[in-house]
């Protein structure tokens, strides 16, 4: 039993900022998703590989190759239609959702009016072709060597339609600067034995367009919902490292440290011993970055909430003393390592650990978040 020598006798309370409320909302939005990934940030080959690793983790074996190709091609589509003249006024986004019986792969990037005209014509033609016609058209382009000025974008679009066996969903939204958001969604059937009405009605692109708007409005960089294991945690950390770590800037390393601890917290306290399912999100704030995880937990969630509440009342010296005591205790009692990690988060950044406790038919759900400030975090509470 952990002893808190410096804890004052108070009633526990919950801290929930707008950032934590956002993650709570997203958890409800994705309650039916087996896996969900949304990413705004740098787009290059290293991130393609990491996102494919995440997406493949829970995919059916027969669908893994098609999912890998479609993710890679969606990334390449963002790169092909990227326009250096547009700068970074509007962010690109990649998303993938596994909602039976489909895997939905979504992308959004900013294009010019000329690109819009090209894509509307090309996709309008592709979407009216049946599978055999698509195959013949693909072969014709290859044999004639009539590649587009976008480096084979036409072939890529045809190949995506061939592999998904569904029309490519698209949407163009005009920005104030007269550029356009090109939103595209590929719907891949991963369960051919599902009822016919489900197979005929994939998720609409508008659902994921709304998600893009929500992430943009709240400056969210990354969102993942699914299983937390070494195979998923490692690529997530690599994505974060590539988007937040700058030369000579310690903020990225602080984010990495906090992300490791929060993800490990999901693993330690996950309610299902075989599947450590949870949610992880990070967004940019005015003062820094906000990191958050949520998962069903074993044991009494009220005890965890009380523990975090008391940690938030300690000053820097008290936290340092408690950290040393708990670190020593964790050598003989490994289960205490979770408490050490939370103390370390609190003393490292001196921002409150935010929590939300909820209970439903599936058990106790704990959401934890913390802001990593741009400053050195030396201020005391």
Q: Which of these, 154, 164, 155, 166, lies nearest to 119 by C-alpha position?
A: 154
The average confidence (pLDDT) of the chain is 82
Query: 122 vs 118, 205, 230, 318, 368, CA distance in Å?
Result: 6, 18, 41, 64, 46
Q: pLDDT at residue 169 above 90?
A: yes
Which residue, chain included where needed, has tokens 């969606």? Answer: 74
Q: Is the pLDDT of residue 307 over 60?
A: yes
* Position 157 pLDDT exceeds 50: yes
Least confident of 69-78, 80-89, 114-123, 245-254: 80-89
Nearest to 228 by CA among 260, 194, 251, 255: 260
Q: How confident is the model at residue 276 (pLDDT cuts 50, 70, 90)?
A: confident
Residue 24 has what pLDDT?
A: 86
Around Cβ 63, how many Cβ atoms within 10 Å? 17
Query: In the chain, pLDDT over 90 holds for what percent of residues?
Result: 36
Residue ranges of domains in the chain, CATH in brackets: 1-31+220-381 (3.30.565), 46-217 (no CATH)
Global pTM value: 0.85
User: What are the C-alpha distances in Å from 337 to residues 125, 136, 379?
Assistant: 59, 61, 26
Which tens digit of pLDDT belongs to each residue from 284-305?
998 899 999 999 887 665 677 7
Contact indicator for 30, 104 with CB cutoff of 8 Å: no
d(CA 346, CA 314): 9
Tens of pLDDT, residues 248-268: 567 888 888 899 999 988 888
- Strand partners of residue 95: 38, 106
What confidence score (pLDDT) does residue 13 get?
A: 43
Confidence of residue 128 (pLDDT cuts 50, 70, 90): very high
Where is pLDDT greater, at 126 or 76?
A: 126
């Amino acid at each position: 039993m952990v002893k808190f020598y410096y804890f004052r006798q108070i009633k526990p309370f919950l801290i929930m900022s707008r950032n934590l409320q956002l993650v709570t909302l997203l958890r409800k939005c994705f309650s039916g998703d087996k896996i969900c990934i949304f990413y705004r940030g740098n787009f290059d080959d290293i991130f393609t590989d990491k996102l494919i690793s995440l997406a493949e983790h829970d995919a059916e074996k027969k669908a893994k190759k098609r999912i890998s190709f479609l993710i890679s091609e969606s990334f390449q589509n963002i790169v092909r239609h990227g326009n250096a003249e547009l700068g970074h006024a509007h962010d690109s986004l990649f998303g993938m959702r596994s909602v039976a019986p489909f895997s939905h792969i979504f992308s959004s990037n900013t294009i010019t009016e000329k690109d819009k005209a090209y894509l509307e014509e090309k996709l309008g033609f592709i979407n009216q072709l049946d599978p055999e016609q698509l195959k013949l058209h693909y072969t014709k382009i290859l044999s004639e060597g009539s590649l587009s000025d976008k480096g084979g974008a036409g072939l890529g679009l045809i190949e995506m339609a061939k592999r998904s066996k569904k029309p490519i969903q698209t949407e163009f939204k005009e920005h104030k600067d007269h550029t356009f958001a090109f939103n595209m969604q590929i719907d891949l059937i991963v369960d051919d034995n599902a009822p016919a009405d489900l197979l005929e009605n994939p998720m609409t692109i508008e659902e994921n367009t709304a998600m893009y708007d929500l992430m943009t409005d709240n400056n969210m960089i990354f969102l993942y919902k699914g299983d937390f294991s070494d195979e998923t945690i490692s690529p997530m950390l690599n994505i974060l490292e590539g988007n937040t770590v700058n030369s000579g800037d310690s903020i990225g390393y602080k984010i990495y440290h906090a992300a490791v601890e929060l993800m490990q917290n999901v693993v330690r306290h996950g309610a299902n011993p075989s599947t450590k399912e949870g949610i992880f999100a990070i967004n940019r704030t005015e003062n820094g970055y906000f990191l958050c995880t949520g998962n069903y937990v074993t044991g009494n969630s009220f005890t965890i909430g009380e523990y975090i509440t008391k940690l938030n009342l300690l000053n820097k010296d008290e936290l340092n003393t408690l950290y040393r005591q708990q670190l020593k205790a964790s050598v003989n009692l490994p289960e205490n390592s979770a408490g050490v990690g939370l103390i370390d988060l609190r003393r490292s950044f001196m921002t409150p650990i935010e929590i939300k406790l909820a209970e439903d038919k599936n058990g106790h759900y704990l959401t934890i978040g913390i802001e990593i400030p741009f400053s050195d975090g030396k201020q005391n509470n």
